[in-house]
A and B are shown apart, each in its own frame.
Chain A
């Protein structure tokens, strides 16, 4: 797909715009979508390259629920967890299912990090990109009982304590949480003890129990502990504040959390929540899923889910998505090379 000629690209872009327009119109007018050239003829397997209960799994099961609730697909959508080897099991499974249109996969940052860190024979180009659903934010959290009110105060304390005194908890090793931790260390010259855990929910609870000093949990993993007054968000690793103004706690909303950049920590990292298909599928087949996810994103349930998890709702499809992926792969390569996380060849 990424090797097609410019004219073809323009043509497909044109087709896609036409499609999107038609779909938008049909949703707007409340009539059923035009009959598409391809439709699933059997149940669709929805692979989650992560364990049950994590962020990607929650989103996949939520999508499954929305599809069922609003009857968006004639065949059923079946969520299958293939978490082995930091998601490598799932990626290799989809890579091996060339031309199978009844299989889709939801990805997280391990789309880039797992092959780089383990050297497994996989690259996102082995798959067909369908759509970026959203970007997940990362927030720096501390226990609410600690005196640190701002990220500056916290980093000052880390610096004052000397290297390897403060513990940063995170999900997995050589993955997004540790990449962010290393990026912070690079900027501030501090050194954390990074402790890897199996899941994001566990990490948040370890912070509540004060077994670690800080975490970079995704909003949805820590929001309840924040509401209960157990955790305190210090800053978000994005170049702009989150757009959600509704109060989450009595006094604060997501929008009240400053960017880490404004706190002197210029780290900007979001995690992809995207949908891919196996390689070799036809345009019509991809179009079906693009359309399906458009419908899902139009539901009120989805909007509520996005707000609860303070997601960045940027959506990309087609060439723009491919462009983003290419850029992001390069970025991960640099970040991980700097951190010394690349697999030994």
Chain B
């Protein structure tokens, strides 16, 4: 489950009156459901991954497209009408060089500026896009610092998280999302960085989530983990932190085995213990960058650590948030046998005390 945009957009003071809540029994139809759901207020497509050059130089990337509904039904016929906001975040972790690049943009649909169109099989924000051709997803992200182009091929069918088509986030009905992931995408492509071009290959993960009312006011932030094990299994864990510092009972997770079968994990099924921390020099936020993960029902013990401490996306206030999202290494045992993996970690709500309805950030 993901998270960030909600806080960000809530900061804009949006309301969710005319949108449809995520309720159990939703019938998924693919590939239609991989694209926009304007009847839900918020929607995002998250691509993260760990890639290497043939020489072994390691890069992590994050490309996220958000859509947030503003006005329903449309009040003007101009393409400039602000029916939806389209945000996008892009980050590149140059692990070996210890550098981290990140960019963000915000647009309305405008005359072709951004959208997630089933007809075009395309999700885009300016010249950042993911285009679906058959089951190949082509990613392009152009910035003044680097350009990333990837072809991503699913190795497993999409996983629908939660139960009965919804991933619950709170006690009331509708405090939930429709949450679909491609947990194992074989990614290959090229990166242009500092005038040089690198061939890249590795694994990517894609989350697609759409909903209307998700988090409750008591929820202050979250930690989201994705793990792609060398043995072919994947793990997703989402821990929501409450204002009082406690762990929210609706924290949850999903374990996907080598065959693609998904197992839903409840809050009580797992434990997450933060370890060493890193203090951001720019925001002052203190992020735990080492974790102990235990999932008793699976017999899984993991220690998580990042190869690059500074993977903080520093925002500029307003809809532009500050959070940490970066490449991770996982190591531990599954039922006593050693197990290794790589993945991503997202930590939100550390930079500033965040409350709904207020502007946040530096």
> Do A and B bind?
no
Interface residues of A (CB under 8 A from B): none
